[in-house]
């Protein structure tokens, strides 16, 4: 049974009466609240909220909601967004040769863990086409070379527009996107970095972790910004290693981390659980 | 700077308008909400809430609150409790010979991690008196033998009453409390069991974990009920072991688990983060 | 590059001179030891060892090894086994409807994480055939009903013999194997149980974990013995849950645990890292 | 019962016959090996070994061992060290105002977890003297100011020499030691850094972790070298945080990490489990 709910995400200056105002509005229009969570950042004087309600008895269409909620939003200087569970976001996956994150995402999608549509996989190599095929998802091979990068990004952007893509997932995509490309999808590109950021940002993090002799390796999913590996962190996890682990073992153990950390980030984004502020994320559970 | 807040804990049948009703009440009396968290158990149709607000501008005394909130509470059939951060709960610690949890709790108390008073430590052995002394806390040695248990519990209860104790912490107290004793402090006795419950309930869990060949050992803090090791679980954690660990290593590794898991349970209770229902806990973070 | 090594697994009564005897034997026949690990169980007076060496310069064939090592083995009353890395064990996977462990194992196999051949997948339902197909592995649908179980097991055993299967992996296979079946593959059937054993053995562990209100859920891979869920534990892991997790969330979080815990167990078995004694495992890392 | 064992630590170029040579030597002198572990770094062609045996029937005194083992050591170009369990290393603890690691170490020492003597605690503040007093350990207050640092280190070194100190533990000692000081105790100073190195090296790591929005905080115990926070890592661990955690919560959660990670590092050093190479540690378990 598909659920039929609305999720409201709000961020605004913290003030008395906010919760009462919102709760009262929802109650008056007959919302049955399923989850509500909020966070105050006392230092920044910021109020952040996520509230989800059943649409069964709810009196308003999204358009009516927008109209009637506007005065409250204005009064409290809110940034807000309403998301319906019936709207499945459209996700494009970018991939290179490493296929573990791609396989993991497609399996989770097919198993019903990710409530989204995946209209498009873009690979700068052709190696993972067979995986896309086995899940029946269109695969586009767009090679990227030093000289052709601008051209390639144009092709990619055209495809993304054509497929009305809402979110781009870099599933171990081994190319750095241009600032121009990123500006088209602000806070809508999720990357997996194979280290515990901010340690080992940039290239070959497992090799550098091995050299430094750390006792845990990590993975980080984050939104992509123009600064490499510096965007808001969504999720991180670590695994224990020992002197018995060679670089190949780190890479193998890391794959399991990468899969889990990326898929959590994607799921939380899709479920509208993430709010951004001050280059950080609030993840409402 | 000590904070001056009120925390309201509510559990009642789930209904529309609950959040609006509560938020509106607090707003009208000028509460500045610092944290609010809620949980719906859809299967049981239950609504649980914890809300904490700054008392600085709040218009009501606790007595006025009780009076004015009563109609709302009645309308929604609420069980509710108001706790003030200025009220420090009074905690008694029961201990036998193992002293690691006692030392840990006293250090955390002194370091300001546990906002409570500790007017009393009761030991059925005298071994840990020196620790109580070094932290300047009264220690009562009440031996417990097969024949003297009833008598001993009477003495304990008298002391607890005398010291107006709100919460009893069994810090590896190696005696089983009688059902009669427990009835005096329902949901107000916290025990640490040195296993991952419900595995290895009862005696000698590390020995049985060793025999069974498990790969992780655990610890569980829980409220004490008349059924041994069956009360509502507050917190659990585990540590990895290997074939290299003998029973003594399990016991040593377990000590670190026990300290952390018990102290978390006690802290959450003191901070009014725990709601009980259906022999389970909701821990609001 | 495939490695070309031999692994010797030994268990025997602990005695002086054991390591010297074995190391000297290997040295005299020009073995280049890559890894050596040992364990003494002082309580049982048991010595357990795993030693792996490069076969490049090694002077003996397996047959010669058996002949020349026999006197040492006899002197020290050893149980021993020699495994060559060039021998890929033959693994059959049993599956029902849940497909996550199957998909995970097949992906890891294809990615080179599991050095084995998988000649056969047996399903008591036909649902996962498409997955077997996409990896090009033969799938046999053998329905199991109350009355047909004995017959079904006969068919299964015939297939296993036909394919020279060394190890059976129960990848969430929802049928209990008969004692007679198990006797054909002693210590060669690995199961994944979706709880932290010995907690919640038997049916519906996630439901019972939810009811008991535990704060962590677990998974356990173990060898199958005639006693249900009582065989030697190979690996366990846990994941944190909260009151926000409904049973469906437990099941979803549990899937990730099950995949990792089962695949580790299978890999360690294949890599000859596991020694069994006293209903426990030693896993040499 | 105190155990009476010898531990031999070896590092040398990897060669055939090493294990056989060592095992044979020990066997001929009637050693009963309790544990033996080894590691080959194939890239560097390095062999590392730790072997521990019961001295009960052992035929050699340490002096005889040194004499008779010399030819083998020379042949294989070994660096080696023999440690007797009856020799309790002498440990000095340096501390500033934060007392949690000090309290933790002293408790573990008194509980028998750390097989060492602690003849001396040096504080650059006097705040923790009462803790030293309650455990009956001499406390020296040596203030350190910008101008007096050289003088202070001279006083410290004199005290360390006087007390024949083998190991210095910096238990949240908030002063940077001079290169000259460090040269007196190469690989014999253990520090706890309150971050997951190499992330957030230097000052105020919790504040920077908070700012960066990481989802896990960490702690690292490491040997002190002249490069700040760059010495060989002994142990690391992490704890999960969320947006609900303010900096004070990070600091509080971090304390538990720091205690555990530092005490593990100290224990492993004392138990002669650590070998150093290439600015890394091998920790034999």
Give the model confidence (pLDDT) of D116-147 as tens digits: 999 999 999 999 999 999 999 999 999 999 89
Mean pLDDT (whole number) for D260-269: 98
Could you tell me the CA-to-CA distances from D108 to A72, C184, D100, D191 in Å, in that order? 58, 51, 12, 17
Say yes or no for a CB contact (<8 Å) between D212 and A196. no
User: How high does pLDDT run on average in chain C?
Assistant: 95
Domain ranges of chain B: 5-84, 90-283
- Residues in Cβ contact with D8 at an 8 Å cutoff, skipping those fewer than 6 apart: D22, D49, D50, D51, D52, D80, D81, D82, D83
CA distance C18 to chain D (A): 9
Of B37, B104, B229, B245, the active-site residue reads B229
Helix-, strand-, coil-residue percentages of chain C, each rounded to 5: 35, 30, 40
Give the tens place of pLDDT for each residue, C15-30.
Answer: 999 999 999 999 999 9
User: How high does pLDDT run on average in chain B?
Assistant: 95
Give the tens place of pLDDT for each residue, A154-201.
Answer: 999 999 999 999 999 999 999 999 999 999 999 999 999 999 999 999
Partner B contacted by D244 (CB < 8 A): yes
Which of the four pLDDT bands, split at 50, 70 and 90, describes residue D2? low
DSSP code, position A87: S
CA distance B191 to chain D (A): 21
Distance CA(D201)–CA(D228), nearest Å, equals 8
Say yes or no for a CB contact (<8 Å) between A27 and B35. no
Partner C contacted by A37 (CB < 8 A): no
Distance CA(D271)–CA(D85), nearest Å, equals 8
Partner B contacted by D285 (CB < 8 A): yes
Q: Are C9 and C272 in contact (CB under 8 A)?
A: yes
Query: Which of A107, A260, A285 is the closest to C244 by Cβ?
Result: A285
Question: Quick check: A212 pLDDT over 90?
Answer: yes
Say yes or no for a CB contact (<8 Å) between B40 and A40. no
Question: Quick check: A226 pLDDT over 60?
Answer: yes
Distance CA(A123)–CA(A111), nearest Å, equals 23
Q: Which residue, C202, C218, C226, C284, is CA-closest to C250?
A: C218
The domains spanning D5-84 and D90-283 adopt the same CATH topology: no
Contacts of C23 in chain D (CB under 8 A): 19-20, 23-24
Which of the four pLDDT bands, split at 50, 70 and 90, describes residue A91? very high
Q: Are B210 and C43 in contact (CB under 8 A)?
A: no
- Residues in Cβ contact with C238 at an 8 Å cutoff, skipping those fewer than 6 apart: B216, B238, C196, C216, C217, C218, C219, C257
Query: Which of D20, D26, D37 is the closest to C27 by Cβ?
Result: D20
Which of the four pLDDT bands, split at 50, 70 and 90, describes residue B285? confident
Query: Which of B107, B113, B244 is the closest to D285 by Cβ?
Result: B244
CA distance C260 to chain D (A): 21
Domain C90-283: homologous superfamily in CATH: Formyl transferase, N-terminal domain (3.40.50.170)
CA distance A229 to chain D (A): 12
Say yes or no for a CB contact (<8 Å) between D252 and B113. yes
Question: Quick check: B12 pLDDT over 90?
Answer: yes
- Looking at the DSSP assignment, which residues form a beta bridge with residue C48? C11, C39
The residue written with tokens 């007959």 in the block is A30
Query: Which of B32, B37, B38 is the closest to A16 by Cβ?
Result: B32
Question: Quick check: C135 pLDDT over 90?
Answer: yes
* Assigned token pair, C177: 């194997």
Give the tens place of pLDDT for each residue, C140-156.
Answer: 999 999 899 999 999 99
Question: Quick check: B103 pLDDT over 80?
Answer: yes
Mean pLDDT (whole number) for C125-132: 96
Query: Which pLDDT score is estimated for A285?
Result: 87
Give the tens place of pLDDT for each residue, C161-210.
Answer: 999 999 999 999 999 999 999 999 999 999 999 999 999 999 999 999 99
Q: Which CATH class is domain C5-84?
A: alpha beta
Question: Quick check: C231 pLDDT over 80?
Answer: yes
Which of the four pLDDT bands, split at 50, 70 and 90, describes residue B42? confident
Query: Which pLDDT score is estimated for B2?
Result: 65
CA distance B231 to chain A (A): 26
Say yes or no for a CB contact (<8 Å) between B35 and A40. yes
Of D229, D245, D249, D256, the active-site residue reads D229
- CA closest to C25 among chain D residues: D20
How large is the ipTM?
A: 0.94
Residues 130-149 of D with CB under 8 A from B: 134
Distance CA(C198)–CA(B210), nearest Å, equals 12
Q: Which residue, A159, A165, A160, A158, is CA-closest to A116?
A: A165
Which of the four pLDDT bands, split at 50, 70 and 90, describes residue C42? confident
Which of the four pLDDT bands, split at 50, 70 and 90, describes residue B82? very high
Of A99, A104, A166, A229, the active-site residue reads A229
Least confident of A257-266, C1-10, D7-16: C1-10
Give the tens place of pLDDT for each residue, B193-230.
Answer: 999 999 999 999 999 999 999 999 999 999 999 998 99
Any catalytic annotation for residue D285? Answer: no
Question: Quick check: D215 pLDDT over 70?
Answer: yes
Question: Quick check: A251 pLDDT over 80?
Answer: yes
User: How high does pLDDT run on average in chain A?
Assistant: 95
Distance CA(B223)–CA(B269), nearest Å, equals 10
- CA closest to A235 among chain D residues: D215
Could you tell me the CA-to-CA distances from D182 to B246, D156, D158, D177, D226 in Å, in that order? 37, 12, 14, 7, 7
Distance CA(B36)–CA(B46), nearest Å, equals 17
Query: Which of D103, D252, D260 is the closest to B107 by Cβ?
Result: D103
């Amino acid at each position: 049974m598909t659920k039929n709910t609305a999720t409201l995400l709000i961020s605004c200056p913290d003030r008395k009466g906010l919760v009462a105002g919102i709760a009262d509005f929802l109650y008056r229009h007959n919302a049955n609240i399923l989850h509500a969570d909020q966070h105050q950042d006392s230092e920044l004087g910021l109020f952040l909220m996520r509230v989800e309600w059943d649409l069964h008895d709810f009196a308003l269409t999204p358009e009516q909601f927008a109209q009637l909620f506007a005065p409250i939003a204005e009064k409290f200087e809110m940034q807000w967004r309403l998301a319906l569970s019936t709207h499945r976001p459209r996700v494009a996956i970018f991939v290179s040769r490493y296929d573990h994150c791609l396989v993991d995402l497609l399996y989770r999608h097919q198993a019903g863990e990710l409530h989204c549509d995946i209209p498009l996989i873009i690979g700068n190599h052709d190696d993972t086409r067979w995986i896309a095929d086995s899940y029946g998802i269109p695969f586009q091979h767009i090679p990227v070379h030093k000289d052709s990068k601008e051209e390639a990004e144009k092709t990619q952007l055209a495809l993304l527009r054509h497929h009305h893509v809402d979110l781009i997932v870099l599933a171990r995509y081994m190319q750095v996107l241009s600032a121009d490309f990123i500006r088209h999808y602000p806070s809508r590109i999720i990357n997996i970095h194979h280290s515990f950021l901010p340690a080992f940002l940039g290239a070959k993090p497992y090799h550098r972790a091995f050299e430094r002799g750390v006792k845990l390796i990590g993975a980080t999913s984050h939104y992509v910004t123009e600064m490499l590996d510096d965007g808001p962190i969504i999720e991180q996890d670590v695994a224990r290693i020992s002197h018995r682990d060679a670089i190949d073992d780190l890479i193998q153990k890391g794959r399991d981390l990468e899969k889990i950390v990326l898929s959590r980030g994607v799921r939380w984004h899709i479920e509208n659980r993430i709010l951004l502020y001050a280059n950080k994320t609030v993840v409402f559970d």
